[in-house]
Structure 1
Amino acid sequence: MPPPTFARLLPETVVAVESYGDAGTEPVFPGEEDLVADAVAGRRREFVTARRCAREALARLGHAPAPIRRGPKGSPVWPPGVAGSITHCTGFRAAAVVGIGELVSVGIDAERAGPLPDGVQPLITVPGEERMLDRLAADHPAGPWGKVLFSAKESVYKAWFPLTGRWLGFEDARLSIDPVAGTFRADLLVSGTRRDGGAPLTELRGRFLVDEGLILTAVTVEAD
């Protein structure tokens, strides 16, 4: 059985690179040192590995190695004409990039499968979602549905922010999850006006998988 990978969720035009481990002695890439100057060792290692994945993905699009700085809200700053996303969780790091064309944004997230911490579910759901999670748990009891919803909303935000430049809270999107197709839809509950002049965002769609104790979610936004 192949390991879970974003290649199973993303269009072929999106380049995804993943790592299931860190090289403990790998240095921080020049120009990124200040971004983790105060980070603990574990955070520093996951940053280095995730950024390496991002550079490897960019290289496949023809971009020379360069620092990947942080922009507003901590989002990665990609080269002009590129959309991308980075994620990491315990034992897994990944990056996905695409040349802007048919796709204008991509968001990915990875989480370890398991239940949400106590008290978190009410904080990340809007009316209707808790009933959906109850139905999913009854019909598909093996699924970590609360964590899938959490991860999907993270991917939605990562695809949303580059296009709008605005925060999107957990309370600003209502999700519908299809457990058989492995897809989800996020109906946006706030204005989706875009700063690039494109059609306002009213919904975002994505795919997910749960495998080998890992939850992967991915959202892509097509050009108008």
Structure 2
Amino acid sequence: MIERLLPAGVVSVESFGDAGDEPVFPGEESFVARAVDGRRREFTGARRCAREALAILGHAPVAIPRGPRGEPVWPAGVIGSITHCRGYRAAAVARAEDAVSLGIDAEPNGPLPEGVDELVILPEERDMLNRLRIAAPGVHWDRLLFSAKESVFKAWYPLTRRELDFLEARMGIDAAAGTFTAELRVDGSRLDGGPALARLTGRFLVSRGIVGTAAVVG
């Protein structure tokens, strides 16, 4: 599923459901030491996908720590992203010479929890969401917008090392094309000296009850 959203040069691995009592990979125990069982299974399953994706790039199995914002810390020369939700885990990686940064996210195709929309949706995005609901009522567009902003943040953070609030990215969604655009309302200066991030684009799909999104900085 997620591979349909990613360009050539990006390797992805996904799984649906759990692999039973999957052990935590050595060196990652501290990250789920206090996690409930469901969260632990999501973590281990998603990290397994990440190692399988890294193997396709020629990397031996390694622990994938968490950084200060919870982001995965990849081997040198690799960029990537991990996502998991109920019934789904995925990872995407690429060599640093093939992509600058990327973010993927998956969410259940259901409504946002009560009260979350006020923290995520800009007033000017609500008219767009209402139009999308009328055109395609089978998609929970508020959840898709949330997921798209998550993907944008995951692509943004490694390049800036700064937080990006949900209300600091204005989304445009093209339902027919399966694409989205994020207009960023904050300084997008990059630590690597590359072009400032003012506008990020991405792709989405809805399949098997899951909303999937991806944003890539090339």
When the two structures are superposed, what TM-score results if normalisation uses the length of structure 1?
0.95
Q: Report the alpha carbon displacement of residue 102 of structure 1 after superposing the two structures with TM.
A: 3.6
1:78 Cα shift? 0.4
1:15 aligns with 2:6: no
Q: 2:207 aligns with which of 187, 208, 211?
A: 211
Per-residue Cα deviation, 1:22-73 (whole angstroms, up to 9, x for no partner): 2222211011111111111111111111101000000111111111011121
Q: Which residue of 1 is the match for residue 78 of structure 2? A: 82
Q: CA deviation at 1:141?
A: 2.1
The one of 183, 186, 189 aligned to 1:187: 183
Equivalent position SS for 1:154: helix
Residue 30 (structure 2) aligns with: 34
Give the residue type in structure 2 aligned to 1:178: D
Determine the C-alpha separation between the residues in 1 that align with 2:199 and 2:119: 21
Q: 1:174 aligns with which of 170, 186, 190?
A: 170
Q: In 2, Cα distance between the equivalents of 1:209 and 1:219?
A: 12
Superposition map of 1:27-176 within 5 A: 27-176=23-172
Counterpart residue identity of residue 62, structure 2: A
Structure 2 unmatched runs, 5+? none
Q: CA deviation at 1:203?
A: 0.6
Q: 1:199 aligns with which of 191, 195, 204?
A: 195
Q: Which amino acid letter does the alignment assign opposite residue 107 of structure 2?
A: E
1:160 deviates by 0.4
- Aligned residue type for 2:63: P
User: SS of the residue aligned with 1:167?
Assistant: coil
Instruction: Give the SS at the match of 1:161.
Output: helix
Q: Which amino acid aligns with 2:5?
A: L
Give the CA deviation at 1:220: 0.4
Equivalent residue letter for 2:158: P
Identity %: 62
> In 1, are the aligned partners of 2:181 and 2:200 still within 8 Å (CA)?
yes
CA distance in 2 between counterparts of 1:34 and 1:140 reads: 43
Deviations, residues 170-208 of structure 1 (Å, cap 9, x unaligned): 011000000000000000000000011111000100000
User: Which structure 1 residue ranges, 5 or more long, are not aligned?
Assistant: none
- In structure 2, distance between residues paired with 1:127 and 1:26: 43
Bigger mean CA deviation after superposition, 126-135 or 207-216: 126-135
Distance (whole Å) between structure 2 residues aligned to residue 115 and residue 28 of structure 1: 32
